[in-house]
Amino acid sequence: MSKQNNWWRGAVIYQIYPRSFLDMNGDGIGDLPGIERRLDYLASLGIDAIWISPFFKSPMKDFGYDVSDYREVDPIFGHVDDFERLLRHAHERDIKVIIDKVWSHTSDQHIWFHESRMSRDNPKRDWYVWADAKPDGTPPNNWLSYFGGPAWTWDTRREQYYLHHFLNSQPTLNLWNSEVHAEIFDVAKFWLDMGVDGFRLDAIHTYQHDPELRDNPVRGPNDPIPSDMPLSNPMSYQKRIHSMCTPHVITFSQKMRAYINQWPERCLLGEAGGDDSEAIAASYVQGDDKLHMAYSFGLLGSHMTRQDVLDTIKRVENKLGNGWLCWATSNHDTIRAISRMQAPEHLYKKAALMIMALGLSLRGSYCIYQGEELGLPQAKLSFEDLRDPYDIALYPEHAGRDGGRTPMPWHKEKPHGGFSFAPETWIKFWEPHAELAVSVQEEEPDSILNHYRNFIGFRRQIPALRDGDLRLLDVPDPIVAWVREKDGYKILCVFNISNDRATWVLSEPHDYSILSNISFGAVIDGETATLTFEPYGFAFLGFTE
């Protein structure tokens, strides 16, 4: 495969949650013209691609992840013409565009589901997962939903249960049905022909269930602790080996890869959850016949302590082989990384920069979630301010999605941080974010934003950081270190994941030189080969052997 066709390998991808990015029509909801308006800002970051969360027609019960028409743009975001213009202008700036495809389920308002639930003998009767009740009228098995409670809802017309891994308004598509495959691939063709550069595949681990509908066993004390949900979710009590994460998903991913290969330079990025998301993600990207990339919840679902980072990297490196991961430390489903780390407020900037450097120096591609380049902490919302059904259902033990979805702060002095000129926004703007607005950080050479620009620009020029090998080093607490290497060029990457100063004596006799333009809070004593770090300091050192 040519280098050109490997643009995704080592790419920096910027995730946009369109509802909260920029509102151009004044309805309090972000839209596609808002994304287009900020393309120059995105280009200034040096990113390779943007991933846009769903903007398709939807009743918005799960804010776009409940699609009612895969080919139509929801009016709150604009029109198909708006997307085509956005796509064209992004490409003019050498920015690839990946769009979010939710093929595990639809909205219950989709015409497919309306037809499927009409009777047991209609043409789309098997387009969704239907099952008879047990003799006592209870659901077919013990499978649970991410949103709490059974994963089955009774339909009085068919007198059967239908499966839903999320809200009961999100019925699961039957991806054992070849007609559903054909329809999904036709949807893919519609957007690929338009020119999109790839798809982010939502919850791909839920694509194909056990056709025998066997009960999930109980998760034992030695089984992996799931990283894609809080332990307050009753689903965490089960090993989800039959409801999702089945080996059949790999076969389906091969079909998708073969299909998308008809369009050059396109890619598939899968979201891999489950009880051992690193192993699942690795299984979806082995070889050249499955997904191009996948991402797991190892860092997304952790507090990003030193041990969390080490354990996740080891699990990935032990299982990934020749596959390719796309790392992320924050997204629209999790508490923002800087808040999960629980760094003291006076160390927020240092912690934000360390997250940047750590994520962008791992072996793989990397997703920056909007606002992460500003060092935004998690917004603190009251229960009355919550909008997300998942946060509401699991409150107060879990309130991690809405606080990461609040409006992007563009201008410190403008209402709602410059996100919208509407009197009210779809979700409350968190005023402390105004102090970290783009307008503020643009004027500060040493801002988090400008450090991101500098680091991404440097990384783009260094093949060892973009797609080189990674060798994890055995170093003392609280230090974490690894070597990235490609074509004989090596970089030592060292991080102090702690609130305290730390030192590390370099034991190997190399001629080290610290790369000061991308290091922060670290100095080296050349005579003793001792690195000294401030809290959350990090260093990148070039060396020869």
Give percent of the chain above pLDDT 90: 88
The DSSP output letter for 4 is: G
CB-based contact 489:461 (threshold 8 Å): no
Closest C-alpha to 82, from 24, 14, 20, 19: 24
Give the number of other Cβ atoms within 10 Å of residue 515's Cβ.
Answer: 15
pLDDT for res 1: 34
Closest C-alpha to 67, from 98, 102, 99, 17: 102
Strands (E), 332-440: 365-369
CB-based contact 307:498 (threshold 8 Å): no
CATH number of 469-544: 2.60.40.1180
Measured CA to CA, the distance from residue 27 to residue 377 in angstroms comes to 26
74 residue type, one letter:
D
Alpha helix stretches (DSSP H) within 237-336? 248-260, 277-283, 306-320
Measured CA to CA, the distance from residue 540 to residue 534 in angstroms comes to 14
> CATH 2.60.40.1180 occupies which residues in the chain?
469-544
Measured CA to CA, the distance from residue 311 to residue 163 in angstroms comes to 34
pTM: 0.96
294 residue type, one letter:
A
CB-based contact 511:541 (threshold 8 Å): no
pLDDT at 521 over 70: yes
pLDDT, tens digit, 9 for 90 and up, residues 182-194: 999 999 999 999 9
pLDDT for res 381: 93
Instruction: Provide the mean pLDDT of the chain.
Output: 95
Model confidence at 392, in pLDDT bands (50, 70, 90)? Answer: confident
Model confidence at 459, in pLDDT bands (50, 70, 90)? Answer: very high
Model confidence at 201, in pLDDT bands (50, 70, 90)? Answer: very high
pLDDT at 244 over 90: yes
The DSSP output letter for 300 is: T
The DSSP output letter for 12 is: E
Q: What burial letters (b/e) apply to 485-496, b meaning 16+ CB within 10 Å?
A: beeeebbbbbbb
pLDDT at 401 over 50: yes
Query: Domain 4-106+176-459: what homologous superfamily?
Result: Glycosidases (3.20.20.80)
Catalytic residues, which ones? 202, 271
Overall average pLDDT of the 387-409 stretch: 86
User: Judging by DSSP bridges, how do beta strands 49-52 and 130-131 pair with one another?
Assistant: unpaired
> CATH 3.20.20.80 occupies which residues in the chain?
4-106+176-459
pLDDT at 400 over 80: no
